[in-house]
Amino acid sequence: MIGTVLVTGGAGYIGSHACAALMEAGYQVVVLDNLCNSSLVSLERVGEICATSPIFVQGDVRDRDCLDKIFHAHTITAVLHFAGLKAVGESVDFPLEYYDNNVVSSLVLLAAMQQAGVTNIVFSSSATVYGDPPSVPIREDFGLCPTSPYGRSKLMVEDILADWHVANPNWSVCRLRYFNPVGAHPSGLIGEDPQGFPNNLMPFVAQVAVGEREKLFVFGDDYATADGTGVRDYIHVMDLVEGHVVALEYICRQPGLHTINLGTGNGVSVLDMVKAFEHASGQSVPYEIVKRRPGDIAACWADPRLAETLLQWTASRSLAEMCEDAWRWQQGNPRGYA
């Protein structure tokens, strides 16, 4: 299905990589982003990678007029809905902002899509909807129990999409549950650009390696894991966005409600990540063990078999590639896009 895709949140970390992957696959792309957590430079860089830039509209997904104008001006065949707020700790302090931004935007988007007759949507959900799983690897049919307003906002949108699909069975709805996206485009031109103190492991490690920060704080070494540190399923952002392109093609052939994990199926500890990054960068990453971060779980990794069966997609890039690509981006852009 080649056509024009609306990418909400397309200037952000995952969205900008998705724009590049879509355009490389032959799609035209319209981005809607209010730039609350991103820079337009990301899309200029996508233009350098793909020789042409996506069409950019600065606006808020909650702004119905703005959406109507986009659907009127372009023949949109599908929407990739990345726009949202994503910081777990911040969501605890500002829950209304999270519910408003993440849930209301999705309601407004669905209504505008319905009016425009656009019936294909891929939604960015998160492994955070599983909460603390009873076992690993995590399958899509596991119970859902998010532990933060951020996670609950993702689950609310998942539920809204399911209800919407019952009422509109001709729609194609895909809920993709990402594990831990890391890394950057191999060009080093686009990557993750956290504002202020990075919450997530990989950008923190990268900032220590490049000398922006003195050391990594490892949140606990007394978990029931091989080395005592937390274990996660890190997935290269290029694998993740290629998963979106195939998911889009799949849902356009197969109307339905689809819920799919995007992960590698491999568990990597914090100390494994430190070692891999040191190897990729040739820099040392000093660290200090500190107490556990409240709300963290010991181990979380995907059962990725459903994606393989339905989409014929598996993540192919190694932990070494994730670190090498993150390092290339970090070295070339030590202060991000600023």
Catalytic site positions: 150
Tell whether residue 251 is a contact of ligand UD1 (CB under 6 A): no
To ligand UD1, the closest distance from the beta carbon of 317 in angstroms equals 17
* Candidates 4-12, 47-55, 292-300, 326-334; binding stretch for ligand UD1 (CB under 6 A): 292-300
In the complex, the smallest distance separating the C-beta of residue 170 from ligand NAD, rounded to whole angstroms, is 25
Cβ of residue 213: shortest distance to ligand UD1, in angstroms?
10
Residue 38 or 330 having the CB closest to ligand NAD: 38
Give least dist CB 11 to ligand UD1, A: 18
Site for ligand UD1 in 13-52 (CB under 6 A): none
User: Using CB under 6 A, which residues numbered 119 to 148 contact ligand UD1?
Assistant: 126-128
The phi, psi pair for 242, rounded to 5°, reads -65, -35
Q: Which is nearer to ligand UD1, 67 or 273 (CB)?
A: 273
- 324 CB-near residues (< 8 Å, 6+ apart): 280
Name the residue among 202, 196, 198, 279 with its Cα closest to residue 233.
202
Instruction: Give the residues across from 234 on adjacent strands.
Output: 180
Contact positions toward ligand NAD, by CB under 6 A?
8-9, 11-15, 32-38, 60-62, 82-86, 101, 105, 124, 126, 178, 181
Residue 222 burial (10 A CB sphere; 0-12, 13-18, 19+)? exposed
Closest Cα partner for 36 from 61, 66, 54? 61
**Which of 54/146 has CB closer to ligand UD1?**
146
Contacted by 84, from ligand NAD, ligand UD1, none: CB < 5 to 8 Å by type:
ligand NAD
* Residue 62 interacting partner from ligand UD1, ligand NAD, none (CB closer than 5 to 8 Å by kind): ligand NAD
Q: How far is the CB of 59 from ligand NAD (least distance, A)?
A: 7
91 in contact with ligand UD1 (CB under 6 A): no
Of the candidates 98, 104, 96, the one whose C-alpha atom is nearest the C-alpha of residue 85 is 98
CA dist 14 and 313 (Å) reads 18
218 binds, among ligand NAD, ligand UD1, none (CB under 5 to 8 A by kind): ligand UD1
CA atoms within 13 A on the CB side of 283: 22
For residues 94 and 219, which CB has a smaller minimum distance to ligand UD1 in the complex?
Answer: 219
Binding to ligand UD1 in span 209-228, by CB under 6 A? 216-219
Q: Name the one range near ligand UD1 by CB under 6 A: 31-39, 63-71, 166-174, 200-208.
A: 200-208
Per-residue mark of binding to ligand UD1, 270-289 (x: CB under 6 A): x-------------------
Binding residues vs ligand UD1 (CB under 6 A):
88, 126-128, 151, 180, 199-201, 204, 216-219, 230, 232, 270, 293, 295-296
